[in-house]
């Protein structure tokens, strides 16, 4: 394994574990039916980004850190924010809640967790000179 990506090896293993769990969760979620084509597309994109980020832990390229940033921004921040706004739009426009109340809490927690991960990522990353 390539632990020279980050100054702190503990953060490397924690980040690898988070991405690995996210790959497994994405594989499970892709098999579940969805009500909207937009949700299906986002599930596929999430799986692809997670797989690419997971592979980047094991190969040495100049694209490692940009892929990790894409993972944090898209999977950690944009996808949960999209889900929150989608549920809010459906509730405001149609007066129905298409998502369970737990989904809103999960998405909010995911955004908060992604901000913390982004702060630690920026603190511990080693840029190639």
> Which of 17-26, 84-93, 104-113 is least confident?
84-93
pLDDT tens column, 75-87: 889 888 988 888 8
Are the CB atoms for 94 and 128 separated by under 8 Å? no
114 found inside a domain: yes
Q: Which residues are within 8 A (CB) of 49 and not within 5 positions of it... i.e. 6 or more apart?
A: 70, 71, 74, 75
Residue 36 lies in a domain: yes
Domain, as residue range, for 65: 8-124
Q: What's the total number of domains in the chain?
A: 1
Give me the pLDDT at residue 1, please: 58
Q: How far apart are CA 127 and CA 113, in angstroms?
A: 23
Which of 129, 128, 105 shows the shortest CA–CA distance to 6?
128
| 47 is a domain residue | yes
Cα distances (Å, whole numbers) of residue 82 to 17, 75, 76: 24, 10, 11
Cβ-based neighbours of 88, under 8 Å, separated by 6 or more? none
Per-residue pLDDT, averaged over 19-45, amounts to: 87
Q: Domain for residue 22, yes or no? A: yes
The answer to pTM > 0.85 is no
Least confident of 18-32, 51-65, 77-91: 77-91
- Find the mean pLDDT for residues 61-90: 88
- At residue 128 the predicted structure's pLDDT band, cuts being 50, 70 and 90, is low
């Amino acid at each position: 394994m390539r632990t020279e990506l980050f100054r702190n090896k503990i953060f490397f293993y924690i980040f690898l574990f988070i991405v690995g769990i996210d790959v497994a969760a994405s594989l499970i979620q892709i098999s579940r039916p969805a009500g909207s084509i937009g949700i299906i597309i986002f599930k596929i994109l999430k799986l692809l980004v997670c797989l690419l980020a997971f592979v980047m832990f094991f190969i040495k390229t100049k694209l490692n850190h940009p892929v990790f940033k894409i993972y944090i921004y898209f999977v950690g921040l944009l996808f949960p924010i999209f889900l929150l706004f989608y549920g809010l739009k459906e509730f405001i426009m149609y007066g129905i809640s298409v998502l369970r109340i737990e989904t809103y809490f999960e998405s909010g927690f995911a955004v908060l967790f992604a901000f913390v991960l982004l702060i630690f990522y920026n603190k511990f990353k080693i840029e190639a000179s």
